[in-house]
């Protein structure tokens, strides 16, 4: 039933996927359908804008004031702008500002400008001159392209590529209309246009994934049912290869290039792994082959009852070493063919692709875990002696090292870890620990997770070291040579172009040379995007080197000393120089290009272009945005201290390390590239180029990095294993309803350990994170306040006309360099008046308007400062705004804004170190906890095991010894109960023995009564008949008659004994009821008062009641008084004392006589049936009494002294 259902689902999936693919292909080139779908999306946005417009109209009906604070509260779908008398009076967004055109009619308009392509809705008020403009972005254009901002279409409405937008109708274009049906703009299609349908795309991929999983499941079942180990493996591998081939042939996943995971720009290693997605798919298929093989091999070897041959044992142990290469090779591919790594000490911020990479590492780690488990289980099952096992490990270690030697030193690390894990598991006999859930299972899991984490950490560290080696080589080349080959080539091309540019030469021959126009042409026309990674400046000097433009520039001899502009620094045949300059404690290099304006041979002007590498501070926002390729590194980003030696003489050093005090001459004379020497916990790397030697130094943090990565891999593995363990725990519990006590203790200990540790860790991280972020904001707010204080006197002069705008801009640039942050200055209308980064506004990343919330808070509400979250593209940052007020009047002069990152590099490093330390503490605590838990489990389970052992030895037929426990704790209480149980068991054993004897006496009594009574009756009749004949005889025979009479008397005595035995055997089970014991005693005593004995009765005044059988109690007292009366030898009168004592909840009755007492030899026989010391007694009276009293829950015993008397005690529970 199950198989047909799966086949039906398979057929359904194939048909569904085929149909959906056909539909998708039919739609992706259907332009009319695309236009209709786009029109529907546009109509939806138009309706949303109309709804926002109506809300704004209602606002103006209620309040006609243009209040920024109130208008900011309106939640509009798209930014809107208010113009009054064609002047902007309100804006809801600072990224873009539309231009108002007087001739433009109301309604929707298509607008194209330098910022992109937009739809603008113009609405005019009826009773005022206010114009509302709402903007829907269609295409946003940026002059830069990096990881944060890219020119792109609005994908909420339009596709990401394949189309072009036009204001007027073009050939083969389609019109998009407003809600009234009027065309607004037109769309034409490129040749590569595809109508991307994301919902259908994801649905197809989901169904395809389900189909592949189902195929893999069916293949697993089919291969598992084959006969023979090798046939199963062969079928499965062939099946996997076939599925992989079908996936490739049918383009699985469908349109994979549209997915980020399958984008080759992130990862590409070969045709087999053209993307990270393909690598993950191949890794999963490889994992399934390995996992299936392990399971089948486990089944095959588990059925083997004989010992495995040595060669197979060696091969299996070698497999435990070889399987670790899967982890290393995957990490190797990530490091070689992607731009990210897996070192947790570098950063804890992971993107989606990095998380997937870690997931695949875990997948290979689980495969290693399964191989370890199989090998350890077999080593435990077919146990060899330690010498032979050690031989297998050493041989496997050597073979693995030889086979994988090409991978490097890391192989020995990995082999050593596997060797150590195998030895520990063998010596601790943990090979079969996972066969049942117990405490040792946790120990075994811990050892394997630590081993796998150490293997992963070793791989990461080795590849990080190789990456750093390559990085140092590149950095060394840049530092020692300092030249940018491509930039130099482009500057040569620039020189040739300027030589041919007649326009620039003519401008210098004019009476009034437009210098600004010349500079703008050079920057915009001749300097392409490549130079965006440099800070560029263009200056113009006259023939003598005096500044012309900008006028505030220092003379050329001061700006560019002759020592720099020499042949040694000259690059090539043109006037291009690569010169060094100091930036703090760092020595950097910049390009200086000089172009001479000549008329014939006469030089009458010089244009100087200067190129400095951009300083990209991790907390500066704008430079981060302006770099067109974020991955272009700067010398300022080098994570090393370094020193350059020339002919063994220190030329300069960068960083905090004092190289002359640390580095000896042997290092500088070493001729080995990148030779590492460790001294004072510092790693030194030497790069030698002719007479120059560059020494890198970095703090030696090998053990920290190694153990931090172990901890990180351990934590993520632990989370996975913990989830699986909890699932297995509940699965086993649901199945068996029983879990071992040790496993429960370990589980509860784990929860008691993990929950507080996680709580403290999360609280600590949260507190440090909040505190640090708050400190960053506070620091920048204070910095912005200081800048505002410095600018206040200057702005007061500027307002009074004492300084011009150029002076203001220069002062702003000076302050920016000092505080190393960006500054924007806005006037009281929210208009940008000065900035340290004009390119941000020139390139349309921001408009020249202030954030409306900042404007409302400072200008209208009078706040001193506000810090706001802002965003450009995908870059999130904060900006601190402060109002600058006049010292004299207190009036607001301007608003100062300073953008900054709240998560700068320092914060990232702090958070990374914090998390790594938390992971390290977690793992260290976990190791300590494992040993403490083991000790605690031993301590807790030792008495339980002892109790278990004692319980297994309990025997009713032998004496059971109690357990001695000195501590009065819970275990002591348990043992006390055990000891009490033994006492009760002993009493029960004795009672059982007595019951068995009593039962035997009953049976014997019944038999004796039967055997005696049967002959007595005929004997008695015969003797009576004989007696009658003798009496009637003629001659009397008195002697004979006397003897016959004596025999008849003995027969009568025997008959009474037989009757007593019969009565004992037939005595019914006592029927207890409420009995007044006082009345019963009085009744019995009154009956015996006539006997030859003195009976003294001592009773309480009140009536006393017990729960007992009244007949048995009366018979018991009768028998005991008879025995007391007959206890003497006739030489003296018998005195009997009967007394009732009241105890706590009980009644004690004592019957004392002054008879001969009971000999010691008869102590244990008194209550036995058929025991008597009298010639005519039956010996069952006390036996019956004991049975009746014990049945009533009481007790009977005696105390005696020979020749002095005996006291019998009866103790019964008293009834209220």
- Pairing relationship of beta strands 1134-1143 and 1093-1098 according to DSSP bridges: parallel
Q: Is the peptide bond before 253 cis (omega within 30 degrees of 0)?
A: yes
Alpha carbon separation from 774 to 349, 436, 769, 902, 914 (Å, rounded)? 20, 51, 8, 9, 17
Q: Determine the distance from the C-alpha atom of residue 1103 to the mean position of all C-alpha atoms in its chain, rounded to a whole number.
A: 77
Q: Which residues, in sequence order, are CB contacts of 430 under 8 Å at separation 6+?
A: 376, 380, 424, 440, 443, 444, 447
Hey, what long-range contacts does 263-268 have (CB within 8 A, 24 or more apart)?
266/338, 266/339, 266/353, 267/334, 267/337, 267/338, 267/353, 268/337
Q: In terms of C-beta density within 10 A (0-12 exposed, 13-18 middle, 19 or more buried), how is residue 521 classed? A: middle
Q: CA–CA separation, 1136 vs 1157, rounded Å?
A: 13
Residue 838 is predicted with a pLDDT of 79
Q: Which residues, in sequence order, are CB contacts of 380 under 8 Å at separation 6+?
A: 429, 430, 431, 432
**Residue whose tokens read 């274009």:** 173
> 10-residue block means of pLDDT along the chain (1216 residues)?
80 91 84 90 93 87 79 89 89 89 84 91 80 92 80 89 90 90 92 82 92 93 90 94 92 86 86 90 94 89 70 86 92 89 83 90 91 86 79 88 80 91 87 71 84 92 86 74 76 87 84 83 78 84 88 83 80 86 70 88 88 64 54 53 74 71 57 40 69 75 86 85 69 60 63 72 76 79 85 84 78 73 88 83 85 92 90 85 89 89 65 83 80 72 69 65 68 70 71 66 66 68 69 66 68 65 60 85 78 78 85 82 79 84 88 86 75 64 76 85 88 85
Q: Which residues, in sequence order, are CB contacts of 671 under 8 Å at separation 6+?
A: 688
Q: CA–CA separation, 148 vs 624, rounded Å?
A: 9
Residue 1061 is predicted with a pLDDT of 62
Q: Which residues, in sequence order, are CB contacts of 657 under 8 Å at separation 6+?
A: 641, 643, 682, 697
Residue 1099 is predicted with a pLDDT of 86
DSSP string, 1089-1125: TTSSEEEEEE--SS--EEEE-HHHHHHHHHHHHHHHH
Q: What share of the chain is helix, strand, coil (3-state, %, to 5)?
A: 55, 20, 30
Q: What is the 3-state secondary structure (H, E, C) of 1152-1211?
A: EECCCCCCHHHHHHCCCCCCCCCCCCCCCHHHHHHHHHHHCCCEEEEEEECCCEEEEEEE
Query: What is the SS3 assignment for 604?
Result: strand
In 3D space, the residue among 569, 630, 593 whose CA is nearest the CA of residue 490 turns out to be 593
Bridge partners of residue 110, in order along the sequence: 119
Q: CA–CA separation, 193 vs 29, rounded Å?
A: 7
Q: CA–CA separation, 568 vs 122, rounded Å?
A: 63
Q: Are 1092 and 1130 in contact (CB under 8 A)?
A: no
Query: What is the SS3 assignment for 80?
Result: strand
User: What is the DSSP code (8-state) at residue 76?
Assistant: -
Q: CA–CA separation, 131 vs 105, rounded Å?
A: 11
Q: CA–CA separation, 225 vs 3, rounded Å?
A: 14
Residue 49 is predicted with a pLDDT of 92
Q: Are 935 and 907 in contact (CB under 8 A)?
A: no
- The tokens describing 1059, both together, are 């009757």
- Helix runs in 800-904, H state only: 805-819, 838-842, 852-855
Residue 1034 is predicted with a pLDDT of 64
Q: CA–CA separation, 626 vs 904, rounded Å?
A: 17
Q: CA–CA separation, 892 vs 825, rounded Å?
A: 13
Where are any strands of DSSP class E within 446-488?
A: none
DSSP string, 884-908: EE-TTT--EEEEEEEEE-SS-HHHH
**Residue whose tokens read 């994570």:** 639
In 3D space, the residue among 813, 757, 751 whose CA is nearest the CA of residue 787 turns out to be 813
Residue 293 is predicted with a pLDDT of 92
User: What is the DSSP code (8-state) at residue 831?
Assistant: B
CA within 13 Å, CB half, 586: 17
CB atoms within 10 A of CB 530: 15
Q: CA–CA separation, 786 vs 1004, rounded Å?
A: 117
Please state at what angle helix 276-302 crosses helix 352-381, rounded to 10 degrees: 10
- The tokens describing 692, both together, are 């120059």
Residue 239 is predicted with a pLDDT of 95
Residue 1165 is predicted with a pLDDT of 78
């Amino acid at each position: 039933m199950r198989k047909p259902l799966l086949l039906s689902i398979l057929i359904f999936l194939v048909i569904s996927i085929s149909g959906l693919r056909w539909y998708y292909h039919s739609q992706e080139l259907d332009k009319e359908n695309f236009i209709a779908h786009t029109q529907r999306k546009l109509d939806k946005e138009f309706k949303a804008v109309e709804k926002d417009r109506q809300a704004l109209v209602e606002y103006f009906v209620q309040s006609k004031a243009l209040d920024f604070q109130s208008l900011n509260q309106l939640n509009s779908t798209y930014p809107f702008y208010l113009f009054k008398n064609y002047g902007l009076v309100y804006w809801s967004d600072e990224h873009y500002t539309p231009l108002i055109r007087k001739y433009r009619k109301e309604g929707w308009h298509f607008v194209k400008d330098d910022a992109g392509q937009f739809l603008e809705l113009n609405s005019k008020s009826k009773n005022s001159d206010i114009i509302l403009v709402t903007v829907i972005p269609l295409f946003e254009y940026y002059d830069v392209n990096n990881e944060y901002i890219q020119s792109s279409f609005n994908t909420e409405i339009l596709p990401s590529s394949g189309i072009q937008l036009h204001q007027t109708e073009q050939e083969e274009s389609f019109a998009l209309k407003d809600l009234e049906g009027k065309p607004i703009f037109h769309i034409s299609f490129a040749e590569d246009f595809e109508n991307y349908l994301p919902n259908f795309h994801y649905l197809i991929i989901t169904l395809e994934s389900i189909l592949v999983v189902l195929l893999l499941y069916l293949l697993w079942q089919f291969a598992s049912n084959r006969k023979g180990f090798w046939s199963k493996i062969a079928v499965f591998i062939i099946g996997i290869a076939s599925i992989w081939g079908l996936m490739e042939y049918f383009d699985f996943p469908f349109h994979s290039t549209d997915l980020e995971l399958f984008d080759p720009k992130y990862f590409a290693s070969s045709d087999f792994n053209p993307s990270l997605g393909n690598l993950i798919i191949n890794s999963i298929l490889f994992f399934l082959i390995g996992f299936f093989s392990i399971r089948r091999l486990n089944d095959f070897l588990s059925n083997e009852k004989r010992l495995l041959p040595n060669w197979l044992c060696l091969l299996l142990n070698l497999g435990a070493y070889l399987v670790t290469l899967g982890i290393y090779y995957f990490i190797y591919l990530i490091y070689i063919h992607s731009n990210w790594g897996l070192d947790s000490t570098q950063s804890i911020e992971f993107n989606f692709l990095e998380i997937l990479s870690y997931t695949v590492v875990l997948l290979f780690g689980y495969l290693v875990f399964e191989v370890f488990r199989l090998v350890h289980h077999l080593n435990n099952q077919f146990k060899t002696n330690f010498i032979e096992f050690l031989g297998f490990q050493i041989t496997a270690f050597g073979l693995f090292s030889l086979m994988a030697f090409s991978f490097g030193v890391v192989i020995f690390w990995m082999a050593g870890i596997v060797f150590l894990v195998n030895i520990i598991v063998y010596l601790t006999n943990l090979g079969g620990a996972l066969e049942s859930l117990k405490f040792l299972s946790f120990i075994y899991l811990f050892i394997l997770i630590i081993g796998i984490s150490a293997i992963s950490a070793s791989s990461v560290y080795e590849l990080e070291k190789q990456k750093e080696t390559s990085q140092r080589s590149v950095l060394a080349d840049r530092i020692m040579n300092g030249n940018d080959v491509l930039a130099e080539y482009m500057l040569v091309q620039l020189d040739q172009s300027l030589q041919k540019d007649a326009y620039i030469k003519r401008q210098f021959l004019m009476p009034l040379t437009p210098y600004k126009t010349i500079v703008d042409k050079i920057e915009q026309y001749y300097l392409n995007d490549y130079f965006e990674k440099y800070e560029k400046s263009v200056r113009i000097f006259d023939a003598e080197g005096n500044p012309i433009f900008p006028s505030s520039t220092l003379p050329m001899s001061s700006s560019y000393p002759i020592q720099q502009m020499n042949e040694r620094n000259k690059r090539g045949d043109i006037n291009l120089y690569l010169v060094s300059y100091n930036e703090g404690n760092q020595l950097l290099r910049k390009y200086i290009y000089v172009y001479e304006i000549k008329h014939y041979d006469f030089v009458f002007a010089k244009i100087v272009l200067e190129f400095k590498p951009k300083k990209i501070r991790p907390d500066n926002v704008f430079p981060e945005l302006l770099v067109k390729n974020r991955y272009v590194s700067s010398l300022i980003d080098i994570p090393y201290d370094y020193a350059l030696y020339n002919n063994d003489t220190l030329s300069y050093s960068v960083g905090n390390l004092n190289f002359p005090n640390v580095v000896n001459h042997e290092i500088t004379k070493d001729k080995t590239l990148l030779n590492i020497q460790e001294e004072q916990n510092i790693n030194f790397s030497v790069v030698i180029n002719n007479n120059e030697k560059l020494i890198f130094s970095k703090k030696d943090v090998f053990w920290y990095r190694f153990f931090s990565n172990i901890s990180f891999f351990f934590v993520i593995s632990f989370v996975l294993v913990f989830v699986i363990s909890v699932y297995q725990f509940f699965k086993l519990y649901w199945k068996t309803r029983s879990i071992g006590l040790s496993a429960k203790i370990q589980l509860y200990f784990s929860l008691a350990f993990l929950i507080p540790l996680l709580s403290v860790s999360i609280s600590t991280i949260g507190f440090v994170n909040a505190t640090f972020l708050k400190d960053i904001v506070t620091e920048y707010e204070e910095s912005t306040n200081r800048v505002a204080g410095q600018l206040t006197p200057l702005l007061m002069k500027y307002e009074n006309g004492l300084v011009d705008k150029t002076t203001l801009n220069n002062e702003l640039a000076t302050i920016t360099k000092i505080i190393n942050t960006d500054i924007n200055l806005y006037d009281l209308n929210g208009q940008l008046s000065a900035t340290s980064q004009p390119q941000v506004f020139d390139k349309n990343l921001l408009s020249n308007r202030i954030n409306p919330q900042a404007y409302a808070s400072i200008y209208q509400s009078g706040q001193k400062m506000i810090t706001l979250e802002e965003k450009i593209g995908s870059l999130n940052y904060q900006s601190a705004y402060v109002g600058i007020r006049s010292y004299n009047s207190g009036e607001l002069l301007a608003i100062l804004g300073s953008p900054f990152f709240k998560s700068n590099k320092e914060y990232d490093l702090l958070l990374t170190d914090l998390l790594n330390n938390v992971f390290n503490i977690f793992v260290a605590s976990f190791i300590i906890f494992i040993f403490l838990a083991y000790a605690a489990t031993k301590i807790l389970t030792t008495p339980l095991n002892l109790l278990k052992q004692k319980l297994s030895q309990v025997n009713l037929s032998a004496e059971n010894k109690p357990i001695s426990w000195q501590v009065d704790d819970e275990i002591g209480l348990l043992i006390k109960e055990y000891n009490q149980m033994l006492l009760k068991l002993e009493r029960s054993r004795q009672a059982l023995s007595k019951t068995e004897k009593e039962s035997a006496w009953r049976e014997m009594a019944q038999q004796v009564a039967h055997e005696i009574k049967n002959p007595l009756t005929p004997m008695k009749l015969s003797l009576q008949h004989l007696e009658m004949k003798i009496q009637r005889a003629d001659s009397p025979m008195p002697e004979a008659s006397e003897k016959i009479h004596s025999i008849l008397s003995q027969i009568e005595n025997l008959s009474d004994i037989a009757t007593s035995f019969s009565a004992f055997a037939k005595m019914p089970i006592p029927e207890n009821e409420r009995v007044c014991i006082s009345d019963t005693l009085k009744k019995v005593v009154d009956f015996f008062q006539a006997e030859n004995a003195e009976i003294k009765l001592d009773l309480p005044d009140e009536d006393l009641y017990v729960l007992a059988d009244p007949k048995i109690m009366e018979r018991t007292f009768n028998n005991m008084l008879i025995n007391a009366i007959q206890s003497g030898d006739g030489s003296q009168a018998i005195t009997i004392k009967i007394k009732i004592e009241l105890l706590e909840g009980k009644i004690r009755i004592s019957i004392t006589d002054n008879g001969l007492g009971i000999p010691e030899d008869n102590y244990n026989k008194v209550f036995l049936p058929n025991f008597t010391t009298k010639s005519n007694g039956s010996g069952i009276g006390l036996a019956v009494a004991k049975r009746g009293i014990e049945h009533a829950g009481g007790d009977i015993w005696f105390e005696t002294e020979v020749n002095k008397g005996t006291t019998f005690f009866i103790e019964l529970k008293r009834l209220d």
